Structure 1
Amino acid sequence: MTIHQEVTIPASPAAVFEVLTSSDKFAAMTGGRSADISTEEGGAFSMFGGDIGGRNIELVPGERVVQAWRSHAWPKGTYSLVCFALSKSGDGTRVVFDQSGYPEDAHEMLAGGWQMMYWGPMSEMLAGK
Structure 2
Amino acid sequence: MHFTLKAKFQASPSSLYNAWLSSSEHTKMTGGEAVIGQKVGDKFTAWDGYITGTNLELKPFNKIVQSWRTSDFDQSDEDSLLELEFEEQAGGTTLILKHSNLSKEGERYIQGWEENYFEPMALYFGR
Instruction: State the TM-score, normalized to the length of structure 1.
Output: 0.92
State the 1:78 CA deviation.
2.5
Distance in 2 (CA, whole Å) between partners of 1:88 and 1:111 is 23
* Match in the other structure for 1:65: 64
State the 1:106 CA deviation.
2.8
* Match in the other structure for 2:5: 5
Report the identity percentage.
27
State the 1:3 CA deviation.
1.0
* Match in the other structure for 1:29: 29
Counterparts of residues 1-129 of structure 1 (less than 5 Å): 1-31=1-31, 33-76=32-75, 77-107=77-107, 109-127=108-126
Q: Which amino acid aligns with 2:105?
A: D
Count of aligned positions: 126
Distance in 2 (CA, whole Å) between partners of 1:71 and 1:103 is 12
1:85-116 deviation per Cα after TM superposition (whole angstroms, max 9, x unaligned) = 00100010011111111121131x20111111
* DSSP-derived class of the 2:17 partner: helix
Distance in 2 (CA, whole Å) between partners of 1:11 and 1:44 is 26
Consecutive aligned runs of 4 or more in structure 1 exceeding 2 Å deviation: none
Instruction: Structure 1: state its 5+ residue gaps.
Output: none
State the 1:63 CA deviation.
0.5
Distance in 2 (CA, whole Å) between partners of 1:65 and 1:34 is 19
Moved more, 11-20 or 69-78: 69-78
State the 1:30 CA deviation.
2.2
Distance in 2 (CA, whole Å) between partners of 1:6 and 1:26 is 18
Instruction: Structure 2: state its 5+ residue gaps.
Output: none
Instruction: State the TM-score, normalized to the length of structure 2.
Output: 0.93
Q: Which amino acid aligns with 1:67?
A: Q
